[in-house]
Structure 1
Amino acid sequence: MSQPTPQRKATRRDMYVAAACGAFVALMVGASYAAVPLYDWFCRTTGFGGTTQVATAAPTQTLERTMTVRFDSNVMPGLPWQFEPEQNTIKVKLGEVVTVYYTVTNQAARETTGQASYNVTPLTAGIHFHKINCFCFTEQTFARGEKREMAVVFYVDPKLAEDAEHDGLNTITLSYTFYPVREPSRVKTSQTSAPETR
């Protein structure tokens, strides 16, 4: 039986190296596509970076401890909107479900679409700030000159009272920034309806 020649050994080795490199590149490409949704999931789960939580129901208790919630609004260049909260601050009890409104006016002579990003400060409070409904969950499309009130329904989790890290916390700032959407999705969104508060 003949032994493989040095040339055949080198060819096999090159094939293994090429296959390993190809597998590595495929793994890296897959990881880069998965990174964004995984990071988003991580932030939503842990409240990392001030990411708020999404709730499907109101909490079962309300505490007497109150929190001042400040509202901040920003619009990035390229989106000709006026965007502001109807009130700058409110006081809420832990566990109290509240609805607040922002007013948006499209100052362009054409239809425009925006999507809001959001977070809270201090960043560590994100795990305790729960939204039941929010205009920020979807793209918002406005006709030229259209003005609209948009609601956000939220509560501050009563579990914040058990979090020693937040013993001295008495103010949370909810911040929104609207970004222009160049290619809006096919489904146009209208005003997000807010569920009734208790």
Structure 2
Amino acid sequence: MAEGNAKKSNANRTVALSCVAFFGAMVGAAYAAVPLYSLFCQVTGYGGTTQRVEQASDVILDQPITVRFDANTNNLPWDFEPVQRSMTMKIGETVQAHYKATNGTGRTLRGTASFNVVPELAGAYFSKLECFCFTDTTLKPGETLDMPVVFYVDPDIVNAPELKNIQTITLSYTFFPTEGKPASTAQAPAPKGNIGG
């Protein structure tokens, strides 16, 4: 009888350890999901995620493409807009576009820009060399900032069957408040004079 209880106890211990290991693996997978998904989107252009590159294209096709520019904010009281609504360039040509943001509030605010392109499949071929979206942006009260983005459309886009006849891509940015402690330069109230002084 004691031997049967020992086997049952060992079986219970094995099941309990398996459950703990499974739970630990699920928690680890949950933490890894966001960075792995971001990496997947950057590599494939899934969801309109653009590419970050270090050098310009060495091939420029004699084929025009128009890029439209869109600007939005989400819970960030800035005026944010593209300087021009669209531009037409050659596929593979490196160009610079400008956005501008103005902080009309009385406090310093920090924001982060998320971005994507439409059609989403074009994200794999939309290559950025420089972008204000690579870092957080801080604007002081009343400050206006010119924010350039340097990019090109990869010539390989013409080899993608679903994109070979594409004529227009929309680049869209949305600014969100940066998480964590907000940047603020609000002045502390001036100390009051001594009473009866």
In the superposition, the TM-score normalised over structure 1's length comes to 0.89
Q: What SS is found at the alignment partner of 1:87? A: coil
Structure 1 range deviating more: 177-186 or 4-13: 177-186
Indicate how the Cα distance of structure 1 residues 97 and 68 shifts in structure 2: closer, same or farther if over 3 A, else same. same
| Corresponding position of 2:165 | 168
Q: Give, in angstroms, the shift of residue 108 of structure 1.
A: 1.4
Structure 2 Cα separation of the partners of residues 173 and 98 of structure 1:
15
Equivalence for 1:107: 104
The match for 2:128 is: 131
Alignment equivalent of 1:27, drawn from 3, 10, 25: 25
Give the letter for the 1:42 counterpart: F
Deviation at 1:184, TM superposition (A): 5.4
What is the RMSD of the two structures over their aligned residues, measured on CA atoms? 1.5
| Shift in Å, 1:61 | 1.3
Q: Structure 2 regions of 5+ residues with no counterpart? A: 184-197
The alpha carbon displacement at 1:6 in A equals 2.1
Query: 3-state SS of the aligned residue for 2:123?
Result: helix
Quickly say closer, same or farther: Cα 1:63–1:185, change in 2 above 3 A: farther
Distance (Å, rounded) in 1 between the aligned partners of 2:2 and 2:117: 66
Q: Number of residue pairs matched?
A: 183
Q: Residue 10 of structure 2 corresponds to which residue in structure 1?
A: 12
Structure 1 unaligned residues grouped into runs of 5+: 187-198
Out of 59, 69, 76, the residue aligned to residue 74 of structure 2 is: 76
The one-letter code matched in structure 2 to 1:58 is A
Distance across 2 between alignment mates of 1:135 and 1:149: 9
Residues in 1 aligned to 2:160 and 2:18: alpha-carbon distance in whole angstroms: 48
1:114 deviation in Å?
0.5
Over the matched positions of the two proteins, sequence identity in percent amounts to: 46
2:117 to 114, 120, 125: 120
Contact 2:79 2:104 in 1 (8 A): yes
Shift of 1:182: 3.5
> Structure 2-normalised TM-score?
0.89
- Report the Cα distance in structure 1 between the residues aligned to 2:143 and 2:179, rounded to whole angstroms: 18
1:139-154 correspondence runs (5 A): 139-154=136-151
The offset of 1:185, in angstroms, is: 9.2
For 2:54 and 2:180, locate their aligned partners in 1 and report how far apart those are by CA, in whole Å: 30
| Cross-structure match for 1:90 | 87
Q: Distance in 1 between matches of 2:14 and 2:54?
A: 52
Q: Match for 1:82: what amino acid?
A: D
Contact map agreement 1:106 1:112 (CA 8 A) in 2:
yes
- In 1, the alpha carbon distance for the partners of 2:36 and 2:165 equals 32
Which has the greater radius of gyration? 2
